[in-house]
Chain A
Amino acid sequence: MSDFRAERLSAVRAKIAALETGARPQVGTLPFGDERIDACLPGGGLPLARWHEVCAEGLETEIAAAPAAFTALMATPLVRRGEAVWVLRRDDLWAPGLLGLGFPPERLIQVCAKDEAEALAVMEDALSTVGVAAVMGEIEAPDLTAGRRLQLACEKHGATGFVIRRRPYGGAAKREAPGSASATRWRVASAPSEPPAGEFGLGAPRFEVTLERCRGGRTGQWLMEATHAYESGAYSLETTDVAHPLRLVAELGDRQLAPAQSFRLAG
């Protein structure tokens, strides 16, 4: 009898999990390798075959350097599985910089789009292509329809999308659409680096990362470091079990974000 009960319970649990994740089966996750973050994410890691938003504040809404660096670091493990496509609005992404962070530029196809609609169309096209593992797109503000289209494209072959929120220079800011179809939304800012004691100059790049919204998970705020950035030594695309390029340095206070909010938005 207890067997039957346990079975029913696990079935109900699975159903609830499916409802929470938007009734879509989990394709896989990409764990950060630190329990403090992975516990907040559904399935214990960054959900794959979904799309994620990365945004910033102030000057970075136009330059989007910290979001680009953070996205490249997050996507580096994915690039081992297939090609990456970066949809740009301005031709200012610099391959030597990506290489320094550990992202292999020879696996990246860069596309420069004329306007927002074209950038979204290219993103969608790339996401639904076999052999593409990650697609980064610099988009000002995807509306709900565009978001759902991206999600459908992601599900076709399991590619993961990253929308880097970037405002084109000049012109008024686009009004943000209420709600979003993204799986997670990260707010990224550069944080002061800490060089090892007794050393001059800058330490490894650090980022203050806020998980603002997470479907089927919790929000949080962390300080992260790209420990192996600008380290000499060849990287290999073949090895699969390597540590995530981002290391968690400290957990920051969950300031004004109430966890209940994310569940409401997730519907």
Chain B
Amino acid sequence: MTDLTKLTISAALDGMAAGDFSARELTAAHITAMEAANVLNAFITKTPEIAVEAATASDSRRAKGETRKIDGIPLAIKDLFCTKDVLTTAASHILDGFVPKYESTVSSNLWASGAVMLGKTNLDEFAMGSSNETSYYGEVINPWRREGSDSPLVPGGSSGGSASAVASFSAMAAIGTDTGGSIRQPASFTGIVGMKPTYGRCSRWGVVAFASSLDQAGPMTRTVRDAAIMLEAMAGFDPKDSTSVDMPVPDFEAALSGDIRGLKVGIPAEYRLDGMSPEVQALWDQGIDWMKAAGAEIIDISLPHTKYALPAYYIIAPAEASSNLARYDGVRFGLRVEGDDLDDMYARTRAEGFGAEVQRRLLIGTYALSAGYYDAYYLKAQKVRSRIADDFKQAYQKVDVILTPTAPSPAFGFGEKGDDPLAMYLNDVFTGPASLAGLPGISVPAGLSSDGLPLGLQLLGKPFDEETVFRAAGVLENAAAFTATPNDWWRG
């Protein structure tokens, strides 16, 4: 029998439809793979019992002819999504023991489509990080290693556990969240597909908030087609989220026509950074050639405020976070550290409950909103954000999609970025601008670095035009023909 974990979602759905295997068998194979990959630390909480139960229910639906869209597909859920009666941590000490009594809209949508939950994946604490080094539950390890090396690499972040789970074939797909690149960058680091839809496409209800105006859920899969299938199951209007957009969800899979003749692909000059890795540059050039070869029209564009995106992002996101994370105060859920009085209890709880990076961002965010500094920092950053959004608006008058690298480098080793938060922040240099503008973006694995690590290319689209992004991504995926997988050293 074939290794069921190596299937794509579309192949698995076909296999179950044909009666080649059951949802229970598919799920069992993934539970085994998940357990075998313990060393990667991709999961904070595994839920094999729930998975088996859900797979059994799926099989009985299928038997009755009541099969749903992604019935029986075993998934990993980033532990930022609240899951009813299942521990939800945001990878933070401060949410110790928190068991929500509600289910996030996105995960509810997936269960309603028949999906199976394998467990909750590790992440940077409160999704603040680009390497998964800030989790209270320990680092996640990238299934990929440099050629000839045994030293562990980061999976990227913040959705590093989700990326690692998918890349290690522990889950058929995972869901992540992307605030400044948290789906796309780890997808690039682990050789998988990661899609951040347009802001407002997926409900944020029940997702632990990091930065409300930026957070967006999305799928992490091994193929573009799987990403399209997953997004369709996740997305949809939610009256419980005021920023959710009341628009029908298109048939994303149907958009994968494979035909991009005449598509206008923009190449932004400002993304050619000084000192960018020559391999990343080379891969980007290669991507341009692939698109051209497929009949697309390549157009040079300018996004003049690109370099200001990260500084703006690192004011706006922490400012929103400083307010969003005020609710973690030891009163209604999670960790409480007793103190002399209420304020002391707050201060001790939050000092012990939040890790260093989260604290750093909360302080920056608090400062940026404080009296006398609001105009200079927060307001200024939001104005710059308007200019960045406007850059894209201008560009999209001329082009349909924009092609860029996903990240400035392949996966790096633990501690390699040293103590300097800024060095880490630069990971988001290509993903951050689209987040600020709320645009959809996808990372597609497109090649290997000289030391054998995956590199992704990013396609950005117009608001709510995920279909074109998927279509272009499908062509890019075909052209790149990326079939490399990490050797499964973790199975021991």
A, B: real partners: no
Interface residues of A, Cβ cutoff 8 Å to B: none
Interface residues of B, Cβ cutoff 8 Å to A: none
